[in-house]
Each structure stands twice: as C-alpha cells, then as structure tokens.
Amino acid sequence: MQTDCDRFSKCALLGALHGAAAWSAYAVVEFVFSSILFRIFRPYAVFTAWHWQLTAELLIAYIVTGAIAGGLAGAAVWLLHRNPRLLGNKDGPAVLEAAAGLTLVAAFAANIAATPTSPSGKHFLLAVSGAFALAFVASMRSSRWSERFALLTNPWIVSGLLLGVGQLFGMFELEDVAQQMGAKFALWLVALIVLLILTAGGAILLGGRVRRIARRRATLFAPSWAALAFAVLLIPASAVLADAKPPQADELPVAAGSTRPNLLVIVMDTVRADHMSIYGYKRDTTPNLKKLAADSVLYTNAVSPSNFTLTSHASLFTGMYASWHGAYCDPPDSSYGRALSPETPTLAEVLSHNGYEAFGVSANMYLRPEFGLQRGFHEFDIPRPIPVLDPGAWYMLRRGVRREIGLVADASQFDRLYSRGQDIDTEFLGMLDRNAGGPQPFFAFVNYMDAHFPYIPPSPFDREFPGKLRGVAQDDLEAVQQKVVNGSEMPAADYRHAISQYDGGIAYTDAAIGRLIDWLKQHHRYDNTMIVVTSDHGEAFGEKHYVLHANSEYQNLLHVALLIKYPKEAARGVVNTPVSLIDVMPTALTSLGLPVPGALQGQNLLDTAALRGRRELFSEGFACPVVQPPGCPADGCTQRAIVAWPYKYIDANTGRRALYDIAADPDENRNLMALDPTVSDRLAAALNAWVKTMPARARQHPRVNSESLQRLKSLGYVQ
C-alpha cells in the first residue's frame, strides 16, 4: 500500500474524512428525495420551521456518524493492509474510499433489515445493497475492479441509486399521488426507471475510463468533498430557516368591525375534560382557559355525540346526531367515514347566508372538503407540513439515524406529521387579519391536534409535567398500545410517559388558544365575540384495555370540555346540567340573534327552563379503522350510549350492556346492570325508542377519495 495509510492515526483520520464525505453525500441526496420530491409531488405541503431544525440535526448526525464509521473502517484497513490476499488493491486512498462507502451501504442495509414490517421492495433493496457491498469489497481487493467500479461506488451514485430504487417502490404504493397527478405520475415513474438504469449502466460502462482520465484521485472524489461542504452549509441555513418568525400584523382600528357579534369556535382535538385544570385536574394544563372561564359559562357535564373526529365535528356543525347528519365510518364502502349529508345545513352556511365572513383553519384532515365539513366557509385551510419521517419512506436511513439522535438529544419531534399549534395560530391569525376588519361579523373556526397521538408537545411543554421517558418513538408507544389491547396491562412508566406528554400537549394547546384570546383583546374584538371552546372526543390510555379513541362509549372518550363566552359576557357561571355538542349550533345562532333551523336536535343552552326538565342525551360509536379491541364482529365494533343524569347506559354490538352512575362513578368501574334493573330497563327502552326514530339510512354521499385515506393513514387513524 502506498504511503497514504502507513500510520494508524493517518489511516483512521483519512478514513474518517472519507466517511464524513460519503455520508454527507448520502444526506444531501436523501434530503432531495425526502423533502424536495415530497414537495414536488404534493404542492399543498409546506416547509415548516421545525422541518428545517430537524433537517439540520439530521445533517449533523450524518456527518458525525460518517466520520466515526469511516474512522473505524480506516483503522480496519490499517490492520488488514499487510495481507495482500485480503486487500490486494495497492491504491491506499481508493481502499479507504471504498471502506467508507461500505459503511454507508452496510448501515443502509441494516436499517432496512430492522424494519419490523415487510413493505414491498424490502428484499429487492437488500439485494441492491448487497450488490453495492460486493462492489466495494471487490474495489478494496483489486485495483482492476477499483478502476472498473470507480463511478459505481461513488457515494453520490450509490446514494442516488439506493434511494431511487426505494422511491420507485414507494411510488408504486402512492395511489393518492398517482390519482392526483394522473398521467404526469406515470411519466415521473418512467423517467425515474430510465434514470436509474442509465445511471447504473453508465457508471459501470464509463467507470474505468473516467478513472483513467481522472488519474488524480482527488479529482474523482471531489464531488464527495463538495457534499461535505454542502451539508455543512445546509446546517446553518436550516437553523436560520428554523428561526423564521411570522410577520406581525398591524393593529386593527377600534372603530372598524361589525357591531353584530362574532363567533369563534375552538376545538381542542382529543382532549378529555378530566385532564383540564378548568375541570379540577391536578396539573394546571389550562391556565389560559381558566382566565377565559371567568367571563364564560363552564359546562361541567358536556357529552360528545360521538367518539370520533369526523362524526363529532359534523354534530358540532349541524346540531344533529350522527345517524341524521350521516358523517360516520360505514364499512366496507366508507370505512374512513361518509361525507356529511348534503341536505343538512351547517352552522357556517347559515352564518354565511346571514352576512358572516366564515373562515377556518384545522390541523385535522377530517375537515377536508370531501367530508363536507367545510361547507359554508369562504376560506378554509388545513396546513399540511412536509414530514421529516414520511411513513412511506420506510427505507431511508434517517429512521435509524433518528434513533441515534435520540441517544443524545430529544428526537420526539421527528414523529410529527401534522401542524402544531404555532403553525395553526400563524395561519389563523393571518386569516383574522384579513377577514376581521371589515363591516361584516365573522365566524371563525380552529382545530388544534396537539393532544392527539403520538403525544409530542414541543419544548418546553414536553417537560412541563414529570414522566417523560427518553428516546420513546411513536413505534415504541404503538407496540405498547397493541399489547394493552391484547390483554396486557400498560407498563407504569409508559403510562406516565404518555400522560405527561398528553398533558403537555393540552397545555401547549391552551397556550395557542391564549394567543388567539390576546389577539381578540388587542384588536378590540373580545367583548363582542362569542367564544366556544370544546373538544370532539377524549382519549383512552389503557383503561379497560382501550387505547386512543373511536372505539368505546366510555367517559374518557365522551366527557368533553364546553366553555362558552357569550357576546358581551351575557352569561357567566357554571352549569352542571348535561349538555351536548349538538347544542352549540342552536345556542350560537340564538345568541347571535339569528333564527334556528327547525330540524336541529340540540337545544339553546341559554333557555334554562328547557334544560331544567329531564333530558336524554345520546352518543354513537361506529366501526372506524382504529385500534379496536379483540372480539369485534367482522363488520367492526359499534356502540350506542344514552345519558339520563346521573346514569349512563351503553349498548354495544358485541352484546355487552352496562349501566353506570357517572356522577358517583365517573371512571365507570361499577356496572350497575344487575343491581339496578329498573333503571337499566328504562334507559334501554329509551335508547331503543330513539333508535326507532332514526332515518332508515342517512342519504349516501360521494365516496372519499384515496388521497384522503392515505393522509388519514399517516395520521394514525389506520392500524
């Protein structure tokens, strides 16, 4: 071997440099595939500040890992180089180059092999990695092969081919994008295949010639050094982009704006009432709502008409129960949910017809137009971020590198797939600035998903409440949840972790809401705005072996927040009478001085005389594609519940019936079916009578396209 690797330290150092360069080249190519191509295929997706921050963290991790792996490879080369049968290539730098490249390909293959599932292309990609490994080994053993493979083993080519093949298999699965882009998609697919074949073939054919022309080895390797430089430059660029602040809007004039009251409806997705400090929770998760509650009516026993985002929002927006408005999971044709019945008027439609400017922002994909919940809004946005770990890109080495980052720093934000409260607020405050200054009153809607699985509140909210475990990724928590559903108890540490992060997510949402309230106060819109804060459903954490939501009618899913600040603070106090989300629309319309459509099933909550009488509330759970308990019938688990204070009776299609006194036993630990048959018979009869009044079948609506389904899958709604 030549002098380049004659000393151990020199050999290790050169190996480290080659490793850092090779892994940087991969990092840059991967960034192009994961972020740039993702954006090209999905023009609606946006780059967020946290995307850049995580990209910078990844680049640093790649350079450091590459240097360590290359250094170790250099040390191995030094140990082996005296044996010409093992390392016959006398060209020292070429051997180190190949050894560094080998570490990259080995890591890529190991990461794929560690994928717990078997996505299509897994074995093919392993075979391609194996072929590259052989090319690297051959290059180290003989200078003839080293020359022939000079181009094929270049880190840029290796990275491009490995990720290109991965992308190819990923594209076969991208039914959503394929439909959206139509013929253009097929063109991309063919272009990618041709490009891959030309690159591989060209690299093999031209390799030796290029090597002979570029006798000076450094010239050939220069692109990899460029990669290192590029990656190093991308780090501060990412950091600058991560720090970007939204522009501050000018203050709206006091005199402008409508004299008619505005309406702001805020949904804290997945927030159960008993985890909010306004309802007495031991951790102060909702300090801003406490302040708002001083000007509001706090409803302590609000019941959600369903346990699922789509269905509950539809009830909130129509004042009707699911079997009437029609937006619910209905397998097999509409497993992910049917759209809202077109004949059912929505709150936004009624308000728009009455001169309101209606606009909204949602983090949850179920507010997509296909489901009908955007009907009546003039402007509606669901900001969708470009993820750092796209669930479809299972083959990318960054999944493994994220684990590595988790050893030294917090890597929970890598699991983020949807907008966080800060992003939602930026978008929403922009809309308020554009729409709230005119002579028309406004109806504004906002949905936050920060308490939703995978429970990853941003810093410092992740540490606000004790219990966070280090290095827990979404996959880990999902594995625990599956065991719980199958009969295991939730391990105490995992439970504490999940709860601490869930509570942190609620506190983070509360802070986001605080910003909106501040905006209203600063812009003189607070007094004349009716503010409704609620949730669509709660969340289960292993109680009775249930996790997540959309699978039971227990109180952890049905007991939600309802806080209403009436215009000019017309009413204040605490109401313990049970109320429902279907009451929001009639209450809002009455408070805004507008007529209430006759068909609504909810009640005006300011009509205290009507509330005083005995009231029966209902809730329906449908067979949605979420983690269901074992023992569900083939067409899925469904449940119905009736609340007649203080009792709740549940009737599930598994045959299970239960009666609880939810005033005395809010956790529903004592089934009173046998103890109190008169009550259970009465409630069962009332529930059956209600079921008989249902329309035979809510009118059928257009099917939701598969692009929505794909996005819902990535939200974790699908197993």
Applying CB under 5 A, the residues found at the interface with Zn ion are 269, 309, 536
Distance in Å, CB of 269 to Zn ion, minimum: 4
**SS3 state of residue 393:** coil
Nearer to Zn ion, 55 or 580 (CB): 580
User: Is 701:338 a contact under the CB 8 Å cutoff?
Assistant: yes
Helices (H) and strands (E) in the chain, counts: 23, 17
Nearer to Zn ion, 269 or 390 (CB): 269
Distance in Å, CB of 326 to Zn ion, minimum: 18
Residue at shortest CB range from Zn ion: 309
**SS3 state of residue 650:** strand
Query: What is the C-alpha separation between 240 and 231, in angstroms, rounded?
Result: 14
Distance in Å, CB of 555 to Zn ion, minimum: 16
Nearer to Zn ion, 135 or 327 (CB): 327
User: Is 95:81 a contact under the CB 8 Å cutoff?
Assistant: yes
Distance in Å, CB of 309 to Zn ion, minimum: 3
Nearer to Zn ion, 418 or 465 (CB): 418
Nearer to Zn ion, 63 or 562 (CB): 562
Nearer to Zn ion, 89 or 555 (CB): 555
Query: What is the C-alpha separation between 561 and 431, in angstroms, rounded?
Result: 25
User: Is 283:274 a contact under the CB 8 Å cutoff?
Assistant: no
Nearer to Zn ion, 270 or 296 (CB): 270
Nearer to Zn ion, 24 or 306 (CB): 306
Distance in Å, CB of 364 to Zn ion, minimum: 6
CB atoms within 10 A of CB 672: 18
Query: What is the C-alpha separation between 336 and 203, in angstroms, rounded?
Result: 47
Distance in Å, CB of 435 to Zn ion, minimum: 25
Distance in Å, CB of 716 to Zn ion, minimum: 11
Q: What does the DSSP assignment read for 479-498? A: HHHHHHHTTPPPPHHHHHHH
Nearer to Zn ion, 367 or 579 (CB): 367
Nearer to Zn ion, 97 or 539 (CB): 539
Q: Is the peptide bond before 646 cis (omega within 30 degrees of 0)?
A: yes
Query: What is the C-alpha separation between 452 and 714, in angstroms, rounded?
Result: 13
Query: What is the C-alpha separation between 610 and 616, in angstroms, rounded?
Result: 12
For the chain, give the number of residues.
719
Cα first-last separation, the chain: 55
User: Is 274:85 a contact under the CB 8 Å cutoff?
Assistant: no
Distance in Å, CB of 139 to Zn ion, minimum: 54
Q: Encode 624-691 in three state secondary structure.
A: CCCCCCCCCCCCCCCEEEEEECCEEEEEECCCCEEEEECCCCCCCCCCCCCCCHHHHHHHHHHHHHHH
Burial 453-467 (b: 16+ CB within 10 A, else e): bbbbbbeebbebbeb
Nearer to Zn ion, 330 or 536 (CB): 536
Distance in Å, CB of 452 to Zn ion, minimum: 7
Nearer to Zn ion, 309 or 603 (CB): 309
Tokens representing residue 539 in the block: 């969340």
The residue among 76, 80, 55, 61 whose CA lies nearest residue 20 is 61
**Bridging pattern class, strands 617-621 and 579-580:** unpaired
Distance in Å, CB of 486 to Zn ion, minimum: 24
User: Is 100:15 a contact under the CB 8 Å cutoff?
Assistant: yes
The dihedrals phi and psi of 463, each to the nearest 5 degrees, come to -110, 5
- Cα 37 to the chain's mean position, in Å? 20
Beta bridge partners of 547: 541
Asked whether the CA dihedral 185, 202, 133, 97 is positive or negative, the reply is negative
Nearer to Zn ion, 416 or 525 (CB): 416
The residue among 78, 205, 89 whose CA lies nearest residue 137 is 89
Query: What is the C-alpha separation between 412 and 499, in angstroms, rounded?
Result: 15
Nearer to Zn ion, 536 or 553 (CB): 536
Distance in Å, CB of 200 to Zn ion, minimum: 46
Distance in Å, CB of 447 to Zn ion, minimum: 8
Query: What is the C-alpha separation between 366 and 68, in angstroms, rounded?
Result: 45
